[in-house]
Amino acid sequence: MASGSAIRGTRVGAGPMGESERGETAPRIRVSYWCANGHETKPSFACDAERPESWDCPRCGLPAGPDNEHPPAPPRNEPYKTHLAYVKERRSDADGAAILEEALSRLRAQREG
């Protein structure tokens, strides 16, 4: 009795079923996309399929477009913001001073009372 994780009915190196068993493949077309670094990517699509406006470059990850002369611009990465940076966007320094004074006066009242 054989042991292990072998699948019954297969052999090592057995390939996929042939086209006669799967059916015919759709006619294909290769489309060129270029990224801002000048890399060319050529994915293939079915001839009657709608082609996307952009494609991610497999070499650098930037978006690639079908126009070699005008590739899409790299996305702008916003730097990480701390919680304090978001608070400062919403509140002015005067608002912060007023909130701090209110909190300190509450603490003083609790100590006295």
User: What are 58's two structure tokens?
Assistant: 């497999």
pLDDT at res. 20: 61
pLDDT at res. 78: 84
> C-alpha 7: how far from its chain's center?
36
The residue type found at 13 is G
pLDDT at res. 58: 95
- Other beta carbons less than 10 A from residue 41's beta carbon: 16
pLDDT at res. 30: 95
Question: 25-65 maps to which CATH number?
Answer: 2.20.28.270
Q: What distance in Å separates the CA atoms of residue 4 and residue 27, rounded to the nearest whole number?
A: 41
Write out 38-72 in H/E/C secondary structure. CCEECCEEECCCCCCCCEECCCCCCEEECCCCCCC
The closest of 73, 63, 76 to 33, measured between CA atoms, is 63
Prediction pTM value: 0.53
Q: What distance in Å separates the CA atoms of residue 103 and residue 113, rounded to the nearest whole number?
A: 15
Q: Provide the residue ranges of all domains of the chain, joining segments of one domain with +.
A: 25-65, 83-112
pLDDT at res. 44: 94
10-residue averages of pLDDT along the chain (113 residues): 60 60 83 95 94 94 94 89 90 91 94 83
What residue has token string 């994780």? Answer: 5
